[in-house]
């Protein structure tokens, strides 16, 4: 009985020690993620564009104070809700480009918290049955994530973010005079979206 209690005590101490240790997979990491955007503004963008998918992959380097810097590539796609356009247009909006990111990441045992800001230069291509419209813009994206380690060098995370795409969605982009019942002068607000998704990190 005493031996059993001793073994259980040692196991409990070992587990407690493991939980207390801060995860340290290395300063370098490869990041990949998939998320799903939901348009928030402007009015026409919210009414007409339906977020389908967002994919990103990049590299990240963590400093000793847990601040990190990184960069990568990102692609997003929104479909056009044809029933919300004057002429039942079909098509979608492709948003793609490189991004730079700065933030802070810290692990508490197996649980990690990170927050940062992505800045990206995007080529935006709005392809529809009426026209093709291509333009560039700079987007800003505050992010927040919760991670759970799965091995000494890997973790999975839940990520939420708010994206300001850096452009106002207006009728001429779809070769129209009115979108969602609004004229161009009524659609001055920038286009934005809320995203939620999942990510994977490999540290080395």
pLDDT (tens digit, 9 = 90+) per residue, 84-104? 998 899 999 999 999 999 999
In the block, which residue shows the tokens 């339906």? 50
For residues 98 and 20, the model is more confident at 98
**pTM of the model as a whole:** 0.86
Predicted pLDDT at 110: 95
CATH code of the domain covering residue 180? 2.40.160.20
Give me the mean pLDDT over the 55-72 stretch: 97
pLDDT score recorded for residue 186: 86
Q: Is residue 4 part of a domain?
A: no
The answer to whether position 50 is within a domain reads yes
Of 21-25, 41-45, 47-51, the one with minimum mean pLDDT is 21-25
Q: How many domains does the chain have?
A: 1
Domain that holds residue 191: 28-203
Mean pLDDT of 136-149: 98
Q: Domain for residue 7, yes or no?
A: no
pLDDT value at residue 184? 87
Angle (nearest 5°) at CA 195 between 191 and 199: 140
Query: Which pLDDT band holds residue 17 (cuts at 50, 70, 90)?
Result: very low
Residue 6 inside a domain? The answer is no
In a domain, 20, yes or no: no
Asked if residue 105 is part of any domain, the answer here is yes
Residue 1 lies in a domain: no
- Long-range contact set of residues 119-123: C-beta below 8 Å, sequence gap at least 24: 120/74, 121/97, 122/74, 122/95, 122/96, 122/97, 122/165, 122/166, 123/95, 123/96, 123/97
- For residue 81, being part of any structural domain is answered with yes
CB 173 within 8 A of CB 184: no
């Amino acid at each position: 009985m005493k031996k059993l209690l001793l073994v259980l005590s040692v196991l409990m101490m070992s587990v407690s020690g493991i939980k207390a240790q801060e995860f340290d997979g290395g300063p370098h990491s490869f990041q990949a993620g998939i998320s799903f955007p939901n348009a928030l503004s402007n009015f026409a963008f919210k009414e007409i564009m339906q977020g389908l998918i967002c994919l990103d992959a990049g590299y990240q380097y963590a400093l000793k104070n847990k601040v990190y810097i990184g960069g990568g590539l990102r692609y997003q796609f929104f479909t056009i809700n044809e029933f919300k356009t004057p002429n039942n247009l079909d098509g979608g909006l492709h948003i793609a480009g490189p991004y730079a990111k700065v933030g802070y990441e810290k692990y508490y045992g197996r649980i990690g918290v990170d927050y940062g800001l992505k800045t990206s230069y995007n080529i935006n291509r709005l392809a529809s049955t009426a026209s093709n419209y291509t333009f560039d813009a700079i987007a800003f994206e505050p992010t927040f994530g919760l991670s759970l380690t799965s091995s000494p060098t890997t973790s999975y995370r839940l990520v939420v973010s708010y994206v300001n795409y850096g452009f106002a969605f207006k009728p001429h982009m779809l070769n129209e005079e009115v979108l969602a019942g609004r004229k161009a002068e009524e659609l001055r607000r920038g286009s934005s979206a809320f995203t939620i998704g999942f990510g994977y990190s490999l540290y080395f």
